[in-house]
Amino acid sequence: MTRTLFHSGRVFDGTGSPIAQADVVIEDGRIVDVGAGLDGDVGVDASGLTLLPGLFDCHVHVTGSGLDLPTRLEQPFSYQFYAAMANLAATLDCGITTARDAEGADLGVQLALERGLIQGPRLQISISMISQTGGHGDGWRASGNHFLYGLPYPGRPDGIADGPDEVRRKVRELLRAGAEVIKVCTTGGVLSPRDDPRHRQFSPEELAVIVEEAAAQGRAVMAHATSPAGVKNAVRAGARSIEHGTILDDASIEMMVEAGTWLVPTLSAGHSLLAMADQGMRISPNALAKAREMTGVHRESVARAYAAGVKIAMGTDSGVTPHGENLLELRLMHEAGMKPEDVLAAATSSSAGLLGVADDRGTIAPGKRADLVLVDRDPYDLADLKSAIVAVYQDGARVRG
């Protein structure tokens, strides 16, 4: 096998340790050595460059392409899958080599990636998000019409369920369809038409059943939760991560620290929603009002969670926000008070821990997959890290640059 040597550059290993001068050797898609004075069969001159582990985005919607409802209503059903190809490619352009889809992508999208039919990050899928009637995932409108985030079909079951028996069956349907993580809405949301982000959704009994059924097949639960009541219920039930965490009080933060629950902030969501509205995109007035109310509070919540020691993983809500702008989240995390090294660790080793793949990727260390990103400036400068990307590697193969 050919040994490829990245030499004369610097390395951020993903743990948050200081950037250091080092060589990296990869062979057969894996990292085999990290250190000084190494050798290889083929050399990559990394002079003036820094090598990072492949980045993660733990909250994307690859079949979604924005919030313009009239445009989406005019698109044929199958358009979303062709759009997903472009969205996945745009995500890979950002140096993101692993992602978790938070609703939308089905087993077919994942298999197309795994078998090389399309190119993009490795994808962990949730397929549909479980929501109560009238909850964040219920697309019922006051007109009587329904507009869901994604229409159900054989590969993507409808996510609406009420009561312990129905939610148990819904988890089983999603697992049967190939879900690797179960997503549940424990509060209202910004974009949903008839609920309030501050209100809790699903009872503790329903949430306990969801977590129990997922755990029975070795799967974790990710909880859309934007307010303390929903966060607390999700943590008590055993959810592995809180998505958004828009409003966090001291008690919910303390519970997350004690339980080891991850926070996936998705600061990009509110930021980009307001930016798109300013640019003239047609957005529901109700959703826009909720976004304006929540954006500043969200940043404060993330700052307090970080200061308290909550584990943080990177996620953007791309699909709601534009694909290909994923690394904006890094800048927003830094602006919320996170140190640059901790931001990069959140996008690498911490995200790998959340997704349960830390033994396989997320750091630059012997035995890990050779998912790597080369950048041509100090990676702690997070203002526009995407523009600094020189090359992206998956399993040692150069896929960008």
d(CA 12, CA 15): 8
Distances (CA, A) of 314 to 125, 263, 401: 16, 9, 23
Give 206's contacts (C-beta < 8 A, 6+ positions apart): 132, 162, 163, 164, 167
- Verify whether residue 311 is a known catalytic residue: no
- Among candidate residues 183, 290, 311, 368, the one labeled active-site is 183
Tokens of 143: 């007109």
- Verify whether residue 13 is a known catalytic residue: no
Tokens of 184: 């549940």
- Among candidate residues 93, 317, 368, 371, the one labeled active-site is 317
d(CA 321, CA 316): 8
- Reported as half-sphere exposure (CB side, CA atoms, 13 A), residue 380 has a value of 12
- Residues annotated as catalytic are 183, 317
